[in-house]
Structure 1
Amino acid sequence: MNITFLLFPNLTQLDFTGPLQVLSRLPGAQVALAAKHKAPVPTDAVLTLNPTHDFSDCPPTDLLCIPGGFGIDDAMQDKETIAFVKREGARASYVTSVCTGAFILGAAGLLKGKKATTHWAYHDELKHVGAEPVQARVVRDGNLFTGGGVTAGIDFAFTLAAEIAGDDVAKAIQLGLEYDPAPPFHAGSPDKAAQATLEAMTARYAPRVADFRKALAAAAQGRQ
Structure 2
Amino acid sequence: MNTERREFLRQLTCVLPGLAALAQTASAQAPAKTPPPAHDMSAMPPGWMGKEVIAQVLYPGFTALDLIGPHYFLSSLMGAKVLLVAKSKELVSSDTGVKIMPDVTFAECPAALDLLCLPGGTTGTLAAMQDPETIAFIRKAGGEARVVSSICTGSLILGVAGLLKGKKATSHWLVKDLLHHFGATASDDRVVEDGNVITAAGVTAGMDFGLHMSLKWRDREYTDCLALLAEYDPHPPTTAGDPAKAPARVKQLMTDMLAGFHAKVETVLKGG
Q: 2:74 aligns with which of 23, 27, 33?
A: 23
Equivalent residue, structure 2, for 1:69:
121
The structural deviation recorded for 1:190 is 1.3
Q: Distance in 1 between matches of 2:190 and 2:91?
A: 30
Deviation at 1:46, TM superposition (A): 2.0
Which of 242, 260, 268 is 1:189 aligned to?
Answer: 242
Structure 1: any 5+ residue segments left out of the alignment? none
Question: Matches of 1:78 and 1:130 in 2, distance apart?
Answer: 21
How far did 1:17 drift?
0.5
SS of the counterpart of 2:174? helix
Matches of 1:78 and 1:205 in 2, distance apart?
22
Alignment match of 1:159 (pick from 212, 219, 224): 212
- SS across alignment from 1:120: coil
Amino acid at match of 1:183: P
Please show how residues 96-115 of structure 1 align to structure 2 within 5 Å: 96-115=149-168
Paired with 1:150 and 1:92, the residues of 2 have a C-alpha distance of 23
- Give the Cα separation in 2 of the matches to 1:45 and 1:76: 19
Question: For each residue in 1:31-87, what CA deviation from the matched residue of structure 2 results, as whole angstroms up to 9, or x when unmatched?
Answer: 111111111101011210111111111123110000000211111111111111111
Which residue does the alignment assign to 1:10? 61
Query: For 1:173, what is the secondary structure of its paired residue?
Result: helix
Map residues 162-173 of structure 1 onto 2, 5 A cutoff. 162-173=215-226
Name the structure 2 match of 1:95: 148
* Residues paired across the two proteins, number: 219
Q: How does 1:75-154 map to 2 (within 5 A)?
A: 75-154=128-207
User: 1:74 touches 1:215 (CA, 8 Å); kept in 2?
Assistant: no
For 2:99 and 2:268, the matched residues in 1 are separated by 24
Q: Is the 8 A contact 1:161 1:169 kept in 2?
A: yes
1:92 deviates by 1.2
Question: How much has 1:93 moved relative to structure 2?
Answer: 1.2
Aligned-partner Cα distance in 2 for 1:44–1:94: 26
| Conservation of the 8 A alpha-carbon contact between 1:64 and 1:89 | yes
The amino acid across from 1:35 in the alignment is A
Identity %: 45
Look up the equivalent residue of 2:223 and give its one-letter code: A
Distance in 2, Cα, partners of 1:207 & 1:77: 17
In the superposition, the TM-score normalised over structure 1's length comes to: 0.95
Measured against aligned partners, the alpha-carbon deviations of 1:92-144 in whole angstroms (never above 9, x if no partner) come to 11110000000111111100000000000001000011111111111110111
Residue 59 in structure 1 maps to residue 98 in structure 2: no
What one-letter code is carried by the residue in structure 2 that aligns with 1:87? K
Gaps of 5+ in 2: 1-51
Aligned residues of 1:73 and 1:216 also touching (Cα < 8 A): no
**C-alpha distance in 2, partners of 1:214/1:36?**
25
Q: Residue 199 in 1 paired to residue 266 in 2?
A: no
Instruction: State the Cα distance separating 1:217 from its structure 2 match.
Output: 3.3
State the TM-score, normalizing by the size of structure 2.
Answer: 0.78
Report deviation, 1:216.
Answer: 2.9
Give, in whole Å, the separation in 2 of the partners of 1:202 and 1:75. 22
1:132-171 deviation line (CA, Å, top 9, x unaligned)? 1111111110111100000011111111110011111111
Instruction: Give, as a single letter, the amino acid of the residue that structure 2 aligns with 1:94.
Output: V
Which residue of the partner structure matches residue 9 of structure 2? none
Match of 2:92 in 1: 41
Once superposed, which parts of structure 1, at least 4 consecutive aligned residues long, lie more than 6 Å away? none
